[in-house]
Chains A and B, each alone.
Chain A
């Protein structure tokens, strides 16, 4: 018998792991030897698991969403009588090793595996994952592509896998340039921030071209506008705090509700030479625009961008 306990929030990797197990079963007799139960049916699941396999040497029983905490020993009493041919996989979020259930399962010889997604802010962890999948896909990535992809795809392993497969199919064994990678896999926030950057520097033409590119690539208006609003609001807060005489990065970050004080250095550079009043006006305009795009569509955003980037005064 083998007793598997699969923990963590990365359902995609868990599913892959189970697929690997499924592949070992006789495909013609899957209906008899592969079972999937929800946690309420644990008793039935154990009974099934105790039955020997049909026309095969193995049986796989999967129980999903297991609430280990609320299970009692009695519920799992028969688990020690499973035949060697059965694999019982219990899938859940967490299992406290000190709990009675955990100790009991450990006594039955469970194999516990944890698959956690990297946290959304853990850039290094995500990059590690991207490069791992890329290696498996035999994808030759240019310099800087890994960090770009990590930023664009986030910590959703399922999407990461799908997009990297797409990229490897697109590349077809050849090596890609960074710009090709950026074209195939779009990064919505990244490109909207580029637009904010052009607006801040008063480069109207660049801002308009960037907006056109964003719209052509199906970026929703609302997302573009709210990204702009967030960025301008950050600048406004930094500028206001600086003018109030706060220069220490740590305090500045606290005031601006920024988790990373190291970013303050760059933000300080960015707001240098900007006028507070024009930032106030920009925020007001973007806020109005958020309302206006509901009935005027992209016209409203275009005029707002025009008027902000033309009037952003520099001291």
Chain B
């Protein structure tokens, strides 16, 4: 039996990391104040369906005369529910039974008197119901037959009809903190006599991203993959990640800058079977963590998601400026989108080299007509070019190749602020500009001599007149 199934919680007290839900439901069971419809909302693997099953057992357990928070787990009713063969407990995957007909037949079924104390309907992935199906369910949810308990589980509550939500008692299942997952995993590792280090558990827990099921699944895999003790390296190898030392050595090479080391590292990764998207996907959170640590310091220690420790990160941050980090992040984000190109391995190299501060040769260029509905205060002019701006533009034109000078002089500089250049001109120049925008941006960078990010925007003449 795999670990998630084996260690599925059996009673409410066993559900990990959801104190509010378990307390409220336990009280409801003790006081016999059970609502006729519940809605469980939460990420995958945090215990929604498990809690729903426990609730089904709790109301129907035969060992106790009335609903109990501690179902015995050995009476007929409990065992049948666990096996999924109970007549009165219907568990439906709404993702595949989402039509109005299925829901109608379900409604017909629930009106029959149950054999056990209560008939329980568990609707998993309730957000997948079609709106017709949801509407068909509404009336029954509002006035359910006395012996029926509806439990709706969903990962995306905002996709449900508001009328459905308002008829249910909603319980929010929180994503579990990595430390909570690690604690539970370590208890299970002890029981299963799996030899695993504390750090490895934390890495596992981080990779589970708030879901206990994912964490258990990984622990199961890890226990099978090695004979000896499981360390951080084994876990990283298992999850297909990049070891922190290699990541650190790449960042150090980027900082130095050591172009050859960057290139060889990239090749080594690709040869060892890392996909380009995985490389970028590992670098992205690392740079984000760097930016986070740079901006907020010690207090965000718990929010770090990359493999590097806070100590390493904070040492690295001194060598970067916020601007550089932002630029690198923007680059990595763009890279993620461009990975579909036909030679991704070259793209990874280019991308890694561009991370080196000052090596990002191509300034980012954005060109689109500016729809200026919000009031702003750029250095603007009233129809005519104001003197300093025109001068500045003239110097730029003079530095341009002769071929480009005529059409560049047809353009006028409306404003330039923080590297944002607003140009105006007629339609033909816009077409030319959009084709040559990158070159123009490089030209501006060369002339002004600072390596600021240059953004070129085009403003239609009529809007210039209006402002």
Is the pair B158, A220 in contact by a Cβ cutoff of 8 Å? yes
Q: Which of B173, B333, B418 has the most CB of A within 10 A?
A: B333
Residues of A close to B329: CB separation below 8 A: 303
Q: B380 to nearest A CB, angstroms?
A: 14
Partner of B24, one of A159, A170, A222, A280: A170
Tell me the total A-B contact number using a CB cutoff of 8 A.
Answer: 117
Q: B333 to nearest A CB, angstroms?
A: 7
From DSSP, what is the main secondary structure of chain B's interface residues?
helix
Residues of B close to A172: CB separation below 8 A: 27, 30-31
Residues of B close to A205: CB separation below 8 A: 295-297, 299-300
Is the pair A183, B300 in contact by a Cβ cutoff of 8 Å? no
Query: B-facing mask of A180-220, CB < 8 A → 1, else 0?
Result: 00011010000000000000000011001100100111101
A101–B174 alpha-carbon span in the complex (Å): 54
Is the pair A218, B172 in contact by a Cβ cutoff of 8 Å? yes
Partner of B295, one of A169, A218, A244, A310: A310
Is the pair B35, A209 in contact by a Cβ cutoff of 8 Å? no
Cβ of A15 < 8 Å from any Cβ of B? yes
A276–B300 alpha-carbon span in the complex (Å): 29
Is the pair B300, A184 in contact by a Cβ cutoff of 8 Å? no
* Residue total for A at the interface (Cβ-Cβ under 8 A): 46
Residues of A close to B336: CB separation below 8 A: 296
A250–B143 alpha-carbon span in the complex (Å): 49
Cβ of A302 < 8 Å from any Cβ of B? yes
Cβ of B292 < 8 Å from any Cβ of A? yes
Of all chain B residues, the one with the shortest Cβ separation from A180 is: B20
Known A15-B142, A162-B167; contact A184-B20, beta-carbon cutoff 8 A: yes
Cβ of B165 < 8 Å from any Cβ of A? yes
Known A158-B166, A205-B299, A296-B336; contact A215-B175, beta-carbon cutoff 8 A: yes
Cβ of A243 < 8 Å from any Cβ of B? yes
Residues of A close to B31: CB separation below 8 A: 169, 172
Is the pair B288, A303 in contact by a Cβ cutoff of 8 Å? yes
Is the pair A280, B292 in contact by a Cβ cutoff of 8 Å? no
Cβ of B69 < 8 Å from any Cβ of A? no
Is the pair A165, B300 in contact by a Cβ cutoff of 8 Å? no
Of all chain B residues, the one with the shortest Cβ separation from A220 is: B158
Q: B142 to nearest A CB, angstroms?
A: 7
Is the pair A169, B33 in contact by a Cβ cutoff of 8 Å? yes
Interface size range of chain B in the complex: 35 or more
Cβ of B253 < 8 Å from any Cβ of A? no
Query: B-facing mask of A13-56, CB < 8 A → 1, else 0?
Result: 00100000000000000000000000000000000000000000
Q: Which of B166, B292, B297 has the most CB of A within 10 A?
A: B166
Cβ of B291 < 8 Å from any Cβ of A? yes
Known A208-B300, A310-B322; contact A169-B28, beta-carbon cutoff 8 A: yes
Partner of A169, one of B24, B42, B142, B172: B24
Is the pair A162, B169 in contact by a Cβ cutoff of 8 Å? yes
Known A170-B23, A205-B300; contact A216-B175, beta-carbon cutoff 8 A: yes
A156–B62 alpha-carbon span in the complex (Å): 38
Of all chain A residues, the one with the shortest Cβ separation from B323 is: A311
Residues of B close to A216: CB separation below 8 A: 174-175, 177, 210
A299–B280 alpha-carbon span in the complex (Å): 13
Interface residues of B in 31-76 (CB under 8 A from A): 31, 33, 35, 41-43
A184–B376 alpha-carbon span in the complex (Å): 43
Of all chain A residues, the one with the shortest Cβ separation from B29 is: A169
Cβ of A306 < 8 Å from any Cβ of B? yes
Residues of B close to A166: CB separation below 8 A: 24, 35, 169-171
Q: A271 to nearest B CB, angstroms?
A: 14
Q: B337 to nearest A CB, angstroms?
A: 7
Partner of B165, one of A159, A169, A306: A159
Partner of A276, one of B24, B28, B162, B377: B377
Using A165-B33, A277-B418 as known contacts, list a sample of 18 further A-B pairs with CB atoms less than 8 Å apart, ordered by residue number in A.
A15-B142, A158-B167, A169-B33, A184-B20, A184-B24, A204-B300, A205-B296, A209-B300, A212-B303, A218-B157, A218-B172, A243-B377, A292-B333, A295-B337, A296-B333, A303-B288, A307-B326, A310-B295
